[in-house]
């Protein structure tokens, strides 16, 4: 299994904080946001490599970070997607496809958004992923507020944990379950990403891919509890900085 952290965005909604610092390297209570993701990944058995995909502007920042965090047990590879501005970014699905082909990945792929911050560990999530493989599994969070859910991709989940619907930022959410930008793609399914891109020509929002995929085959959802932040705005960053309670629960 490999892990891929999506970190190629330009974080324009967090300016001026991200004018010269990539969003995943912003500090939350003294630690880089991406370091909390490494905490989660480190607990996964059979993980062969951690890849961080970034852009041309911020590649030096991540190369410096990777040098400090790579160990004999944890190999970190930084991939530059070649983009130079927010206008020419590849988008989340575009970046997954880029890394998949560039690195010739032939393993299960765990994908995490670089702006994710949550306190539940990944043990139960990975257990479900492996149990349901070769089907795709998605991380879900119950935000418990349909008004707040309007800002995210809203998911309908049946009693068998199968995704029945996915709506991006709906005006009338059917539930308070939202996508976390956390995905387990078994290696047998990776080719479907390029099939989706060829058919739909949408490379920006990963939720659009999950919506499309759930119409092709069963996609499973795992609902996380505890605390979750999407560090997408100055307000959410300040909230996390003030209230996030450490690197994770056991």
- List the CATH number of the domain containing 10: 3.90.550.10
Domain annotation covers residue 215: yes
In a domain, 134, yes or no: yes
Q: 169-177 long-range contacts, Cβ below 8 Å, gap at least 24?
A: 173/146, 173/149, 175/146, 175/149, 176/142, 176/143, 176/144, 176/145, 176/146, 176/148, 176/149, 177/140, 177/141, 177/142, 177/143, 177/149, 177/221, 177/223
Find the domain containing 106 and state its range.
2-243
102 sits in the region (left: phi over 0; alpha: psi -120 to 50; else beta) called alpha
Q: Are 142 and 186 in contact (CB under 8 A)?
A: no
The model's pLDDT over 189-199, given as tens digits with 9 standing for 90+, comes to 999 999 999 88
Q: How many folded domains does the chain comprise? A: 1
Q: What percent of the chain has pLDDT over 70?
A: 96
Express each pLDDT in 39-84 by its tens digit: 999 879 889 899 999 999 999 999 999 998 877 577 899 999 999 9
Note whether residue 250 is domain-resident: no
**Is 248 inside a domain boundary?**
no
**pTM of whole model > 0.75?**
yes
138-150 residue pLDDT tens: 999 999 999 999 9
Nearest to 163 by CA among 106, 205, 223: 223
What pLDDT does 204 receive? 67
**Which residue has 């047990």 as its token pair?**
73
pLDDT attached to residue 42: 86
How much is the pLDDT for 118? 94
């Amino acid at each position: 299994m490999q892990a891929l952290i999506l970190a190629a965005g330009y974080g324009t909604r967090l300016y001026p904080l991200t004018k010269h610092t990539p969003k995943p390297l912003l500090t939350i209570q003294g630690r880089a946001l991406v370091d909390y993701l490494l905490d989660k990944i480190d607990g996964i058995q059979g993980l062969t490599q951690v890849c961080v995909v970034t852009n041309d502007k911020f590649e030096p920042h991540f190369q410096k970070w990777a040098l400090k965090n790579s160990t004999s047990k944890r190999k970190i590879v930084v991939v530059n997607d070649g983009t130079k501005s927010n206008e020419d970014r590849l988008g989340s699905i575009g970046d997954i496809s880029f890394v998949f082909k560039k690195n010739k990945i032939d393993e299960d792929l765990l994908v995490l958004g670089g702006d994710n911050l949550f306190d539940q560990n990944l043990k139960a999530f990975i257990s479900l992923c492996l149990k349901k493989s070769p089907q795709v599994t998605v991380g879900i969070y119950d935000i418990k507020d349909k008004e707040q859910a309007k800002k995210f991709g809203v998911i309908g989940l049946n009693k068998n944990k199968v995704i029945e619907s996915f709506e991006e930022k709906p005006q009338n959410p059917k539930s308070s379950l939202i996508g976390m930008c956390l995905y387990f793609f078994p290696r047998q399914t990776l080719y479907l990403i390029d099939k989706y891109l060829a058919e739909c020509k949408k490379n920006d929002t990963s939720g659009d891919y999950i919506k499309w995929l759930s119409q092709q085959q069963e996609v499973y959802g795992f609902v996380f509890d505890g605390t979750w932040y999407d560090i997408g705005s100055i307000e959410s960053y300040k909230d996390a900085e003030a209230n996030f309670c450490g690197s994770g629960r056991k």
